[in-house]
Structure 1
Amino acid sequence: MNLNNKKVFIAPHTPRTTMFKSELKNSCKDIHILGFIDKIKEDEGIYKLNDIVSKEYDYILILSQNHFDSIYKDYKKLLPAKKLIKVDIKNNKYLFFNYVDILKENIKKIPVKIKFFIFEKLVKYFDKKDRKKIVFLNKSFISTNNKALYVYCIENKLDVMLLIDNEEQYKILKKNNLPVARLNSLSSFFYLASAKMVIQDQGNSNYLLPFLSVKQKTIQIWHGIPLKRMNLLVGHVYDYFVGTSKYVNDTSLSAVIQAKEYTDYGYPRNDLLLKDHSKLDLLFCDEELYELSEKEKTIVYMPTHRESSSGIGQNKNLVPIDFKRLNKKMKELDTYFIVKFHPFVMQFYEDIKNSDEYSNIKFHSIQGDIYPLLKYADILITDYSSIYFDFLLLDKPIIFFDYDYEEYSSNMNGFVYDYDTCAPGKKVQNEDGLYEQIEEVLKGKDTFKNERETVLDKFFTYKDENSSSRIMKRLNNE
């Protein structure tokens, strides 16, 4: 789409759209970005929808992969549809859709709308019945907390069903004779309508929740303690939210997730860090790497996803590591380096993944569950990812490879928690510093033990393997 010399607004205001603004400025000649539109946030350069009606502009670019439909519906009431542009990210590129494209997309959704009509009727029908089923709702992929609690329920012979639109994971579950159905199929609507409880650990399938009855309970167990700032998840108030401590709920997640009751029972996935694993616990885990980590010294590297790693004209050398040098160093240290990248990043390292040249560098599947393997890792290397909070339960060294701290923290408008005090580990900004610290740790030097314990006590009420048990005990009392 040609945006040169165009006057545009961007909506809503999020870390992703902040980065989108920067990339537009770098790639589009003389584009005039007038500001952001946001329903909730207030700041300089951020406007409410009513403020835009009388302003002169060419387009409003809407980038919201989870909430576009509701935003578009609100905007279309006040603004010309021809000026509303949907922005999506596919294959690491921004795609732009005008009102004709959006109309065609909506026409394709008509069969789905018919299913939703049937869904509403099913919910009313089951309101007269005794609901017992526990349904796990997953969009795009099965995240770690949902998987761990789902497995716990199966092993404790509870009546469960998992809904997913990831075909690869669906086939794995079917192959293991586990209760699963395709999301948005008629059968999935039947299971949702008959559910006593609907459990999520993400916010990207909230579009189904308004169809549920007030007699059904909704539970959000989320997917990590946030270090970076997040917007309020609007559209649904959950019956229960599960966090890791009252401190975390009060200081961050209650401002992101709306719920009637906030609990501190802990994350089901963290049970896998502390317990003996069953066969089902290893679902979606790379079992070859799991066995390797049991026997050998291993380092796990899990950087967070950067909004700048998906977009226009980006430098594709996304991680400042020379992997040939890294492999040589790992061979010297008799250690394996296990990498788990975000899908947007992993696509640029397929050649390394498929090469025999990198004997001591291993890549975990991008949508797989690395938590069982983490139990055996000797070191975690990360940056701003919430995984490091969970890793504190193991009381093992963490190295923070924060090579882009200034840029990242600026794009995120700072962090929820003070990074210096709440990230207990050595912080390094370049490859030389990284290798130096790895060698120090492997020699037994660990100077952050007390700091890890301080952060752990604040961010976790419980430090055991019983999170799933606590959650289900509370929910079964309903």
Structure 2
Amino acid sequence: MNVIRILKRVTIDVVWMPVALLTLLVPRNRRLWAFGSSSGKKYADHSRMLFEGLHDNRIDADIRVVWSTKSDEIFHELTSRGYPVLKSNTFRGFMTTLRAGVCVYTHYANDHNRIAAFGAYKIQLWHGIPLKRFKAVSGLLEQGRAGRYYRNLHNRMLDLQKIMFPWANPTWDLLVFQSEVDRDRTGMAFDGTYRRGIVAGSVRIENLRKQFASPDCKPDEGDARKILYAPTHRALGRESLFEKVPVPDGNALHASLRRMGATMEVRLHPFQEREPVPEALDCGPVRLVDNGQCDDIYNDLHTFDILITDYSSIFIDVLPLGMPVIFLAPDYLEYSKDDQGFFSDKYSVPGPVATTWEEALYYCNDILIGAHDHWVECRRDAAKFYFDGSDESESAMKRIVDVAKRDLSIS
């Protein structure tokens, strides 16, 4: 966040200060939990999974839930499904959030109306085990004399904002980690901003295991095998992905897939969606899937046979499920130099690395025809590393709910 942006937010917070203070006088219902994600713009991630688990009474029948969104699309979609949903930027949405005893997040304060959520018990689920360092703790903002001056000014203004306007940068009552590695990495970025942190296990993996165990997951004989290509963004979408990872001629790409009896879905990072996509990645056996506001990649991850990615932490999520992973990363040296840096460990790349699409498809073909997969043990070891301390014998969702209920004295 830059200095100008902080000044704009401070101006807004000064205007809202009387309302924010008055919200502390409103009694909250500890059994009413509001869920949000991605600044109110997505119905996805850990929040969605815990929301649906509670709504369907799979975890705790005492809790009443509601989804909070700024999106008309999400509002109408959830209404049609029979889920309780509110528009956070309406009077009714504001008042419902104001009464909620618990607000659940996956990103930042804007997952909910910041003012209405001020006095609520806040659960931060976050949205993944980081593969790269958070920019705030990477040292990237402190390079050079000007960078250090800017960083010091930024931190002083942020500290002042937290004191004067505590609803703007909330203190999390419960920060949930998926594993000990997650505690080390995510906890570093949230240092000083949370009251309690627990290693609860992975809500996402719990959900994915159920999907992979479903009979619907098993393809019918003769069905095409499915490959998912899910790359991350380049410089928050400011740089071209396809200049750095050139796409081959469509005829060659499609012919390779047809020989394998495979189809491919392409899901770009939301930051990268503004870039025009080569025609080869959205025709024939290849389909480009838009990131709709109600679309969550984890809803149908169980339908794929292979994941092709690069520097996205999505590969960590599929490790416990045994899905083969291929890393298509021709710009590795440039990316690692310009970005905030990777956490260094031997499990960062538990799969073959390709520098061209031809190489990536060669590895896919080997896996699909049943050739020896040399990376099985490496993926298992990586899963143990990334999810160390995660107890699979107990539901992660139930553990989170139980801790919050104890903190709130809900019997």
Report the TM-score range of the alignment, normalised by the length of the smaller protein.
Answer: 0.7 to 0.9
Distance 1:399 1:316, change over 3 A: closer
Corresponding residue number in structure 2 for 1:135: 34
Distance 1:316 1:403, change over 3 A: closer
Aligned length: 362
Structure 1 runs (4+) deviating above 6 angstroms are 289-294
Q: TM-score, normalised by structure 2?
A: 0.77
State the distance in 1 between where 2:100 and 2:89 align. Answer: 15
- In the alignment, is the contact (CA less than 8 A) between 1:364 and 1:370 conserved in 2? no
Q: Secondary structure at the match of 2:300?
A: helix
For residues 376-407 of structure 1, the C-alpha deviation after alignment (integer angstroms, 9 at most, x for no partner) is: 31111111111111100211211011111011
TM-aligned CA deviation for residue 342 of structure 1: 2.1
Q: Quick one: which amino acid aligns to residue 125 of structure 1?
A: V
Alignment of 1:245 with 2:171, yes or no, is no
- In the alignment, is the contact (CA less than 8 A) between 1:163 and 1:183 conserved in 2? yes
Alignment of 1:226 with 2:130, yes or no, is yes
Alignment of 1:269 with 2:204, yes or no, is yes
Alignment of 1:192 with 2:97, yes or no, is yes
Corresponding residue number in structure 2 for 1:121: 22
Q: Which runs of 5+ in 2 are unaligned?
A: 138-157, 159-168
Give the number of the structure whose residues are more often strand, by fraction: 1
Q: Secondary structure at the match of 1:226?
A: coil
Corresponding residue number in structure 1 for 2:260: 333
Corresponding residue number in structure 2 for 1:101: none
Corresponding residue number in structure 2 for 1:389: 316
State the distance in 2 between where 1:424 and 1:318 align. Answer: 22
Distance 1:315 1:458, change over 3 A: closer
State which of 251, 254, 279 in structure 1 corresponds to 2:187: 254
Distance 1:220 1:395, change over 3 A: same
In the TM superposition, 1:25-104 aligns within 5 A as 68=5, 70-72=6-8
Range moving further from structure 2, 290-299 or 392-401: 290-299
Corresponding residue number in structure 1 for 2:72: 167
Q: Secondary structure at the match of 1:381?
A: strand
Corresponding residue number in structure 2 for 1:309: 237
Alignment of 1:144 with 2:49, yes or no, is no
Q: Quick one: which amino acid aligns to residue 371 of structure 1?
A: Y
TM-aligned CA deviation for residue 210 of structure 1: 6.4
Instruction: State, as a whole percentage, how many aligned pairs show the same letter.
Output: 23
- In the alignment, is the contact (CA less than 8 A) between 1:119 and 1:190 conserved in 2? no
For residues 192-250 of structure 1, the C-alpha deviation after alignment (integer angstroms, 9 at most, x for no partner) is: 21111110001251784466455x31100011111112145972221111111123212
State which of 375, 383, 402 in structure 2 corresponds to 1:473: 402
Corresponding residue number in structure 1 for 2:360: 434
Q: Secondary structure at the match of 1:238?
A: coil
- In the alignment, is the contact (CA less than 8 A) between 1:244 and 1:462 conserved in 2? no
- In the alignment, is the contact (CA less than 8 A) between 2:237 and 2:274 conserved in 1? no
- In the alignment, is the contact (CA less than 8 A) between 2:247 and 2:280 conserved in 1? no
State which of 415, 422, 433 in structure 1 corresponds to 2:342: 415
- In the alignment, is the contact (CA less than 8 A) between 1:293 and 1:376 conserved in 2? no
Q: Secondary structure at the match of 2:195?
A: strand
How large is the Cα RMSD of the aligned pairs? 3.5
Corresponding residue number in structure 2 for 1:424: 350
Larger radius of gyration: 1
Distance 1:267 1:184, change over 3 A: farther
TM-aligned CA deviation for residue 468 of structure 1: 1.8
Q: TM-score, normalised by structure 1?
A: 0.67
TM-aligned CA deviation for residue 144 of structure 1: 1.4
Corresponding residue number in structure 2 for 1:28: none
Corresponding residue number in structure 2 for 1:364: 289
State the distance in 1 between where 2:331 and 2:377 align. Answer: 27
TM-aligned CA deviation for residue 262 of structure 1: 1.5
Q: Quick one: which amino acid aligns to residue 305 of structure 1?
A: H
- In the alignment, is the contact (CA less than 8 A) between 1:299 and 1:336 conserved in 2? yes
Corresponding residue number in structure 2 for 1:179: 84
Corresponding residue number in structure 2 for 1:81: none
Q: Quick one: which amino acid aligns to residue 433 of structure 1?
A: E
- In the alignment, is the contact (CA less than 8 A) between 1:271 and 1:465 conserved in 2? no
Distance 1:231 1:294, change over 3 A: farther
Distance 1:223 1:190, change over 3 A: same
Q: Secondary structure at the match of 2:104?
A: strand
State the distance in 1 between where 2:175 and 2:7 align. Answer: 25
Q: Quick one: which amino acid aligns to residue 42 of structure 2?
A: F
Q: Secondary structure at the match of 1:205?
A: helix
Distance 1:437 1:223, change over 3 A: same
Greater relative contact order (Cα 8 A, min sep 6): structure 1 or 2?
2
